[in-house]
Structure formats: C-alpha cells, structure tokens
Structure 1
C-alpha cells in the first residue's frame, strides 16, 4: 500500500505541475497583452514590463491553483479507474477511505502552497507592485518621451511630440495648458529638451509660439519666442509612501492587533477578519477541491461510456461551492463575529466528500458480498 501511495502521489504531483503551468501560461498571456500595451504606451521599458509581470504572478497562481488541483485529481482517478488499478486495490481489501489517503496528502500539499501564497507572497508582491506603480506615476519624463501620441501627463494638460531623437531631443512639440479656467495657453515649438532642475523637471522649448486665450473677453494674444522654459514638475503631484492596505499586509501582522490594523488602514474590524480568514479558507478550499475530484469519480465507478457525467457533476459542484464564497464576505463586513461562515463552502465540500466515500465503501462491500455468495 505504501508503494501504491507513492505511485499515486507522484502521478498527482506531476499532473498538478503540468496543469498549473498550462493554466498560468494561458491566464498570464491574457493579462500580459493588456499590461504590455499600458506600460509600453506610457514609455516604459521591457524590463519594467517583466518586473510587473513577475510581481503579478503570485496572485495569478492563487487563481489557478484550485483548478489545477481539481484537474489533477480527476485525471489521475479516471486513469487508475480505467486501467482497473483501483479495482485491484479494492479487491485486496483496501477501502475507499484508505485509497483516498494519497489524494488527501496531495490536497494538503496544495493547501500548503496556497497558504504560502496567500499569507506571504501575494501581500508582499502587492505591496511592491503598488510602490513601483507609485514611482512610475511620478516619472513625468517617461510619459513625455512617447512620440506620435497625444498624452495627458496631468489634469488639464495635453502634450504631443512628433519625433524623439536618440539623444532626447523632441521635435515639433505641442503643449496645451488648461489648468487655469480664466485662460488657456497653447505652446508650439520646433524643438524641445527635458532638463532636470534639482528635484524638478523643466521643458525647454526652442523657436516656438505661445497663444493665450482669456475667457473673460475671448481675446487671443500670441507671442513668438526663441526659447522658453516650462516647469512640468507640478503636473504629477508626488504621492509619497503607499497608503497601508489590508491586501499589502502579511498574515502575521493581521494576527497581532486587529484594532491597530483597522486604524492604520482606515477600515473596520470586519474587513480585517474577512481578509485574514478568507486567506485560510482559500487554502482549505484547495484541499476540498482535490477530494471532490477524487470522490465523485470513485462513486461513479467504471463505465464503458466514459465518466463525463461524473466529471461534469464534480465541476458543477466545485463551481457552486466557489460561488458561495463571494456572497459570504458581506455579513463579515457588517459583523466581525460572523467570520466562521467564510469556511462554510469548505465544510459543505468536506461533508459531501465524506458522504460519497461512505457511499462508495458500502457499494463495494455489497459487490464483494455478492461475488462471495455466487
């Protein structure tokens, strides 16, 4: 039996890795297309795109981990059942509860992976991602060095440049300043340069024209200039440090002081309880997903018409339990004492698994009893 446990566990882990890799690749490509368009469109480099993609992977993996766990359990159980390996094991006296042990170990390993992601890696990645987004949002130079597009680096400001040389010279510059409701100013210049001035940044325009329109009397005045300095530092206000948020905190901090965490994040105790216990419930649900995939196919047994019906039932059951989790957060937000209901989907799934294993155990006992009588 120990050799069979190792054999089945190895099959589960191998297929779990395969399904995880495929699902992560599919979801990542869908997200990477949008991320690439947004970052490269804002003038960022490919290294920034890779950094943002890497920081988003932990959260993406938490999405596909229960699906990969369920798929691996279903595939391995179906293959062992088709090749009569489960039948041989039960004919030796092994009960469905005993055969479920390697699946339970596999579910525990998946749950530990989910716990590591939910409690440590995802909050840390979210914190670092928010900090990098804050840094990039303050980088005015990268926004302006995008040629051929009308950009809005700040409220009421529109910027355009036709061409950007390799040495940073901007050609055919257009700048519209509408921040003052009393007047609107449009600057056009043949060339321009971005110059760092201490902590600020200035746009030096050469050989251009300034047009000023006053709203009070609708009078337009123009002035040519040889060179003109425009301070672009106020276009993006520095945001300072990233505001503490619950998704940015690791679980060890959430366990210490709920009132203090709620005060720091400007939330309530219900939000803190929901964030912490939802992470734990996410791991327990991953364990239940593996057991549901195994138990449903075990109850169905062997059929020459295939096991598509059992797979569909198990999948719909998993979707129904997962759909419950979204509706259970609101009561916890309103009353912190309601946090145990977050574990309701996992508890229901566990009871369903126990009922199916009990049913499978009784069915096989009756089968062997009939054979002995015959």
Structure 2
C-alpha cells in the first residue's frame, strides 16, 4: 500500500469513527430515555440498564454504519477536492480508478465489520436482550418490591407498598384490580408477604379489607379478612412467553435449514430467505455506498464553491438504492425462489460506481456528446 493509500485510508477511518460515534450517540440517547423509564418502573437497578444498553449496541451500530461510511467518504473527498489535493494527485498521473483504490479498501474493511455484526453479533445480542427482557417481565417479585411508588405491573392493575421491613414484610399494601369490565377489586392490608409456590408466586395479605365495586348497579361489597392469598402469577401477560424469532438465528442456519425453521416457527420460507440474503447484501451495499460517494464527487471541474452539486447527486443515488432495496423485500417474502432480487441493490450500486468512475476518467465524454 502506497503512502497516498495509507493517508487517504487513515483520513476515511478517522472521519468514519467520528460520524459513527455521533450517530450511535444520537440513536442511543433517543432510545435510552424510554429504556431508562421502563427499567426503573420495573424496579431494576442501573446495572440492568447498562446491560440492556450493551446488548442493544450491536444493532444500533449496524444501523448507522452505512450512513457513517457515506458521510465519511463524502466529507473527506470534499475536503481533499477543496484543498486541491485530488487535483495534484491527478496531475501526477493518478487516474480516478487509482484514486478509488483506498476507498475500496475502506469499504471492504467496514463491510467486514458489518458482516461480523449482521451474521453473529446482532443475532446473538438480540436473542440475549429478548431473553433478559422477558425474565424481568416475568420476575414479579423484583417488579413489586418497590416501596413508596404506585406500580402498574400489567394493564388494569395498580400496586403500592408504603415500606419494606428488613425482614421482608410489606407494610401498608394497596392492590387494585380493574381488569374486569363490570367490577373493580381493591385490597388493602397492614402487612403482606410474597411467597413462591409450585403454582406460581402468591401475595399473602394479613389484617386487611377487600372491596368489590359493581359498576352496573353501583354497589360496593366489603369484607374484612385476617389473611388472604392473592395469586399474582396472573399478572404475567401470556405474551411474555419466549418465542423464537428468525432475527435470533444465525445466517448459516437460515440458509442450510430453512425448511425446518419455517415449520418450527410457522413462518413462510420467503421471510427466511429475505432475512438471510438481506444480511449478506448489507455489507455489499456498504462497499458500493463508499465508492459512489467518492466517484460522484470526482465528476465536474474544480470550483472554489466546493462540490455541493455532486454531494446532492450522491445523496440522491444513495436514496435511490435504498428505495430499490425496499422494493425487493415484498417479492422475496412472497416467493423464496426470488432470493436473488435481494442482491439487486448491491449490484446496482457497483454498476453505478463503475459508470461514475468511467465518467470521471473521461471528463469530455458527456461534454462531447452534448456538443455533438
């Protein structure tokens, strides 16, 4: 690798790291607000929040990598063009094809990172994140043992504890169950205990009052009790039961065992083909995005106002590729035999890159045709 290749590659990697860090931070902050509220509402600690953050990072990075590659390529190329560095290199005999070589190296490096994410890290971390979320949802004890706060473990249920003693006794408990359409059940107790049984967790309330409000005839039934057992396993929504998803399965398994996975998960083969080949296509699109961003900015003559028109053209081409990628999803999901369509956006990107580099190598081609 020549000195110029190392110089340009280092510039691209530095700017790529900067844009990736900024985009990941913006995306993470936007998600962290709701995630933090959800975790605190469930009575979890900051350690759980940190764990969830780390598990969600691979997917966040996967989303921002293509944008970071494109932004870094465009920024570096624009700066080199504005400072006439590209013009000097072309004057020494470097063709656009030669100038694009370090950009190709850059695209391949990021594509390898994208491949590692899409094929291994994202499926593994997403599966672990889903499992941990369901474990916390099903952990009624952890969700209910929060003193001084009105909790809503499920829709229609409100739970409150004034104080938890060092011995684990719940003081001044309030439980309201509004899940029935015509009745509201309210329980208050001076003390309560959480017990684990073979049939699920139970809440044993001592020295309390039960109130049943019937909305139809506006009657209220009250009963004093010395002890009462409430089955809180019903607070666990049935939807929290863990269900396998194709996003949690490795690419190799999706390609080699698609039929068995389709039967086990009861999903069409087309969805499996779209997921598997989409993971392979994304790294290829990263390479084409880098070359398109570089080659487009090589078009046109030097201007002291910069290459903003070429930047707009490059951005439009990138949007066009994304539109094509979105258009191929539904046909593949409908018919798995059309899996080759998933590679059309990447092939289109490589074709556009070749055309743009050829036009940059023959600056008089379009001008000559226009003149003719």
Q: Do these two structures clear the TM 0.5 threshold for a shared fold by scoring above it?
A: yes
Bigger drift between 150-159 and 4-13 goes to 150-159
Query: 1:101-140 to 2 correspondence within 5 Å?
Result: 101-140=101-140
Distance 1:184 1:17, change over 3 A: closer
Return the alpha-carbon distance in structure 2 between the equivalents of residues 267 and 171 of structure 1: 49
Structure 1 residues 3 and 230: alpha-carbon distance in aligned structure 2, compared to 1, 3 A threshold: same
SS in 2 for 1:305: coil
- Determine if contact 1:244/1:264 at 8 Å carries over to the other structure: no
Maintained 8 Å contact 1:209/1:223: yes
Q: How far does the alpha carbon of each residue in 1:170-210 deviate from its partner, in whole angstroms, 9 at most, with x for none?
A: 34322234567786532112333323346732223233211
Q: How does 1:290-369 map to 2 (within 5 A)?
A: 290-363=290-363
Question: Alpha-carbon deviations, 1:94-145, whole Å to 9, x = none?
Answer: 2100110000111011111111111111111111111111211111112223
What is the aligned partner in structure 2 of residue 286 from structure 1? 286
Report the CA distance between 1:212 and its aligned residue: 3.5
Which sections of structure 2, spanning at least 5 residues, go unmatched?
A: 368-372
C-alpha RMSD over aligned residues: 2.7
Match of 1:33 in 2: 33
Match of 1:370? none
Separation (CA, whole Å) in 2 of partners of 1:316 and 1:165: 63
TM-score, structure 1 length as denominator? 0.89
Residue in 2 that maps onto 1:16:
16
Structure 1's 100 and 215: CA in aligned 2 closer, same or farther, altered over 3 A?
A: closer
Q: Does 1:77 align with 2:88?
A: no
**Pairwise CA distance, 1:85:** 2.0
Q: Which residue pairs with 2:252 in the alignment?
A: 252
Give the deviation of 1:332 after TM superposition. 0.6
Please give the alpha-carbon distance, in whole angstroms, between the structure 2 residues aligned to 1:24 and 1:350: 27
Query: Does the CA contact (< 8 Å) of 1:81 and 1:301 recur in 2?
Result: no
Distance 1:216 1:340 in 2: 61
Contact 1:80 1:86 in 2 (8 A): yes
Give the deviation of 1:341 after TM superposition: 1.7
Give how far 1:303 is off: 1.0
* TM-score, length-scaled by structure 2: 0.89
Distance 1:235 1:97 in 2: 64
Shift of the 101–213 alpha-carbon distance from structure 1 to 2, 3 Å rule, reads same
Task: Supply the distance in 2 between the matched residues of 1:156 and 1:33 (Cα, whole angstroms).
Answer: 24
Residue 370 of structure 2 corresponds to none
Cα drift, residue 292 of structure 1: 1.2
Gaps of 5+ in 1: 368-374
**Distance in 1 between residues matched to 2:20 and 2:167, nearest whole Å:** 45
Alignment partners' CA distance in 2, 1:102 and 1:364: 25
- Contact preservation (8 Å) 1:206, 1:227: yes
